[in-house]
Structure 1
Amino acid sequence: MSIVIWSGGRLRGEDEAVVTAVDHGLTVGDGVFETCAVHDGRAFALTRHLRRLERSATGLGLPAPDEDEIRAAVAAVLEAGGPEMGRVRITVTAGPGPLGSNRLPAGSERPTVVVVAAPASTARTARVARVPWVRNERSAVAGLKTTSYADNVVALAYAAERGADEALFANTVGDLCEGTGSNVVVEVGGELLTPPLSSGCLAGITRELMLEWCAADGMPVRESAPGELRMEVLDDVLAGRAQLALTSSTRNVQPVANLDGTDVGPGELSVQAQKLFETRLADDVDP
């Protein structure tokens, strides 16, 4: 089985229509989503993901999703999919709406909820490339996990053309920000640093857990100060004075082995964080 779909209170066939042509998530990207890794048949860190889903929905002006409904849907697709399922995606849109950007009046919304489980695999290292576009840290949707992903699609295609599997953005003031679907970690000066949320990056669940778990283990890890991680730090990575790692739900903690087509060595702390994360996630599926 390749994917399992739930929508409208029940499982659906792969070829069955689940949204209307005027769904606002389809016409203008008016929706939010979460992706969880699956371990031992359960969605990892589901509670944290559902908290962020609600924060994103609130930030976008959507009604709070029904957590009990989503938990039941996640359980249903994972049970139906069996042990080969490696990820589950939860999508909530504003539902049917006008063809323009305006929404239906408050209180008349009929949100669409779709939950999909699918297989997944994780590589041990990543290949990344800088892209010439920026994240807008002052955007109305900065820090929200919305379905408006066109920027990411274009940037990732640019990176893939250059042999990479992830793209890295600066923000509008030249600070290192994030990837298309990952947070970035810089190993420099004997520390693991990740850009602050004020940079415009997403508050990643894996980023959050890495900060907590590495600190609890005594590792030198922290958010950088605003302006501390300029995009030029990637030149230090190419020169061997710093190293990179990515964090995301489907990557966990993943050292970077190639930047802009040049092989770079993974950092000692990055590898240590990767191993620690794998150990801790095996101990608690919903930390």
Structure 2
Amino acid sequence: MNKFIWINGKIFLSTDAKINVTDRGFLLGDGIFETMRVVNKKIPHLRLHFSRMEKGCDILFFPSLQKELLIKGIEEILKINEINNGSLRLTITRGDGPRGIIPSGDTNLTILLQVFDPSKTILPPVRLVISRYFRDGRSPLSVVKSTNFLPSILSRIEAKNKNYDDALLLGQTGSIAEATAANIVFLKNNILVTPPLLDGALPGTSRERLLKAGLCEEVSVKPEELSSMQGAWLINALSIAPVTTINHFSMKKSFHEGEVIKNYLFPDIK
């Protein structure tokens, strides 16, 4: 993380930035966030990130997204931190509130922008285990990138404790939903497929791009079908990682399809 942070239109030294102890995002996980890639001082596919956050604001009964303020804030925080390439996180919470679950009548959002130095886009191969935690694709919250991230956090911890790199969560349908911080794409019968939203998948921006480009289809994948998968990859806005195993099933490598996904999502990476 870099030296300066943007909060509600003002820039602070990261050591001086403060969130009120009554902030509902801190106390109750009452917020949403987006993590975006920075390339040449720009946010690729910013419209997709804003679109998902707008839907999240609507579902959480937040005021409408202040796009002009955010665009100006993004430009300011990238410039003052001298970031050309890296990542940016936008977090919005309901802001300060009284004790209890019901918020006050007046909503004063807390809006936070943080930037981070570059990390690897093409990640090393990963080994996955199926988690005991679930995602519910029937819930409106399943499409919200909420700051309440406990199922993913606990799934990742348990995976690490079992000497795996990450975990896959199932949906209430019994099919695979996604990994703890990424969508999953399978090669099934020579076709790239990804779990549908009803199975609990978050509508990731990279996932959406592959679907709109016709490079991938929505298909449910049951755990018992893993033995027939020809390959698998984890994708999000920042990276792609090939999957080598899920539980005891080996994912047969398919170099070509992995290159197709990488070249489409990250054309600047050679």
Both structures adopt the same fold (TM-score exceeding 0.5): yes
2:262 matched residue in structure 1? 274
Alignment of 1:9-20 (within 5 A): 9-20=9-20
Q: Is the 8 A contact 1:85 1:117 kept in 2?
A: no
The structural deviation recorded for 1:126 is 3.8
2:199 matched residue in structure 1? 199
Q: So what's the TM-score if we normalise by structure 2?
A: 0.90
Q: 1:231 to 1:120 in 2, by over 3 A?
A: farther
Q: Is the 8 A contact 1:162 1:261 kept in 2?
A: no
1:45 matched residue in structure 2? 45
Alignment of 1:42-121 (within 5 A): 42-83=42-83, 85-105=85-105, 108-121=106-119
2:223 matched residue in structure 1? 231
Whether 2:19 is the aligned partner of 1:31: answer no
Alignment of 1:174-193 (within 5 A): 174-193=174-193
Q: What secondary structure, in the 3-state scheme, does the structure 2 residue paired with 1:232 have?
A: helix
Q: Deviations over 1:234-272 (max 9, x none)?
A: 343xxxx42111110121x43223434776443232332
1:285 matched residue in structure 2? none
Unaligned runs of 5+ in 1: 283-287
Amino acid in the other structure paired with 1:266: K
1:151 matched residue in structure 2? 151
The structural deviation recorded for 1:67 is 0.8
The structural deviation recorded for 1:231 is 2.4
The structural deviation recorded for 1:180 is 1.5
Across the aligned residues of Structure 1 and Structure 2, the Cα RMSD in angstroms comes to: 2.1
Amino acid in the other structure paired with 2:265: F
Whether 2:134 is the aligned partner of 1:134: answer yes
Whether 2:203 is the aligned partner of 1:255: answer no
Rounded to whole Å, the distance in 2 between the matches of 1:84 and 1:24 is 33
1:124 matched residue in structure 2? 123
Amino acid in the other structure paired with 1:129: V
The structural deviation recorded for 1:94 is 0.3
Unaligned runs of 5+ in 2: none
Residues 266-275 or 40-49, more deviating: 266-275
Q: Deviations over 1:195-235 (max 9, x none)?
A: 1112221111010112233x2xxx5x2111xxx31122334
Rounded to whole Å, the distance in 2 between the matches of 1:27 and 1:49 is 25
Which ranges of 4 or more aligned residues in structure 1 deviate by more than 6 Å? none
Q: What secondary structure, in the 3-state scheme, does the structure 1 residue paired with 2:129 have?
A: strand
Q: Is the 8 A contact 2:170 2:200 kept in 1?
A: no
Whether 2:217 is the aligned partner of 1:222: answer yes
Residues 179-188 or 131-140, more deviating: 131-140
Rounded to whole Å, the distance in 1 between the matches of 2:167 and 2:4 is 29
Q: So what's the TM-score if we normalise by structure 1?
A: 0.85
Whether 2:22 is the aligned partner of 1:22: answer yes
Q: Is the 8 A contact 1:24 1:93 kept in 2?
A: yes
Rounded to whole Å, the distance in 2 between the matches of 1:266 and 1:73 is 42
Q: Is the 8 A contact 1:24 1:99 kept in 2?
A: no
Rounded to whole Å, the distance in 2 between the matches of 1:144 and 1:45 is 18
Residues 132-141 or 186-195, more deviating: 132-141
The structural deviation recorded for 1:120 is 3.3
Rounded to whole Å, the distance in 1 between the matches of 2:3 and 2:168 is 29
Would you say how many aligned residue pairs link Structure 1 and Structure 2? 266
